[in-house]
Structure 1
Amino acid sequence: MAKLTAKQEKFIIALMQTNTVVDACKQAGITSNTGHKYLNDPDFKQEYLNVRRETMQQATNKLQQSAVLAVETLENVMVDAENSTPSARVQASRSILEYAYRSLELDDMQRRIEQLEERLGQ
C-alpha cells in the first residue's frame, strides 16, 4: 500500500472527527475538490477503511468489556424485589433470556458453518 501524504492523513483524521466531507476538508485545510479526489483514490480509500475498522474494533472491545457489568446489572434488577418494580424485574428477565437465546443461536450457527466448511474442504 502506498504511503499517504501528511495532508491525506490529516484529512482522514478530520473525516473521523466531523460529520461531513465539507467540514472535514475545512478542518484539514484542503479544498472540497481535493477532498473528493482523495476519496476516489484507491490507496486513500483503503487506508480510510482501515482506520474506520480499527475505530469500530476499539468500540467493540469496549462493549465487550462492559458486557459482564451489564449482565450483572440486569441480574441485580431481576432479583431485587425490594428496590425494583415488578415491570423492571420482568424486563430484566426478558432481556437476559433474549440474549441467552441469541447467544445459543449464534453458537449453533457458528458450529453449523464450521461443519459446512469442513465438508467443502474435503
Structure 2
Amino acid sequence: MGVDRKSDFLQALLTEPTIEKAASKAQIAKSTAYKYLKDTKFNERLLEKKRELMSQVTNQLQQKAIKAVKVLSDIMTDEKAPEYARISAAKSVLDNAYKGLDLEDIQVRLAKIEEVVTNKK
C-alpha cells in the first residue's frame, strides 16, 4: 500500500468484505476509517469508483449474454434434458424477455417526459 492512506482505504473498500478488513488492509485505525466514511468528498469518490467497477462488470455480463441465451435455448429445446431443466430455462428466457420489454417501455416513457420537461424550459 502507498503513502496516501485515504486512497488506500478507498481501494480496499472495493475489494474487502468489511470496513474493518478494508481499514486493516489500508493500515489505518477503525476510527480513522469511520472518519473517512463521514467525509462527503470521500463518499463521492467511493461512489464514483463503485460505478466504474460496476460498469466493467456490466460490460463483461453483456459480452456473455449471447452465449447465456444460447445455453438457455439449447437446454430449453433439448428433449433429452430433464423436464425441470427445460422448464427452468424456458422460465428464465420468458422472465428476461419481459424485463427487457419493461425496460424498453420505461426508456420510451422517460424520453417523452424529458422532452416535455425540456420544452417547458
The TM-score normalised by the length of structure 1 is: 0.85
Matched, 1:89 2:86: yes
Q: Which amino acid aligns with 2:91?
A: R
Q: Which amino acid aligns with 2:43?
A: K
Task: Give distance in 2, aligned partners of 1:15 and 1:104.
Answer: 35
Q: In the alignment, what sits opposite 2:64?
A: 66
Q: Which amino acid aligns with 1:113?
A: L
Task: Give distance in 2, aligned partners of 1:96 and 1:7.
Answer: 46
Per-residue deviation, residues 82-113 of structure 1 (Å, max 9, x unmatched): 3x122322221222122112211211121122
Q: In the alignment, what sits opposite 2:34?
A: 36
- The CA RMSD over aligned residues, in Å, is 1.6
Map 1:38-57 onto structure 2 (within 5 A): 38-57=36-55
Task: Give distance in 1, aligned partners of 2:19 and 2:8.
Answer: 13
How far is 1:19 from its partner?
1.9
Q: In the alignment, what sits opposite 1:15?
A: 13
Task: Give distance in 2, aligned partners of 1:95 and 1:23.
Answer: 37
How far is 1:74 from its partner?
0.5
Task: Give distance in 1, aligned partners of 2:105 and 2:95.
Answer: 15
The unaligned stretches of length 5 or more in structure 2 are: none
| Alignment: residue pair count | 117
Change (3 A) 1:91 1:19: closer
The TM-score normalised by the length of structure 2 is: 0.85
Which among 3, 6, 31 is matched to residue 4 of structure 2? 6
Task: Give distance in 1, aligned partners of 2:87 and 2:21.
Answer: 46
How far is 1:72 from its partner?
0.4
How far is 1:7 from its partner?
1.1
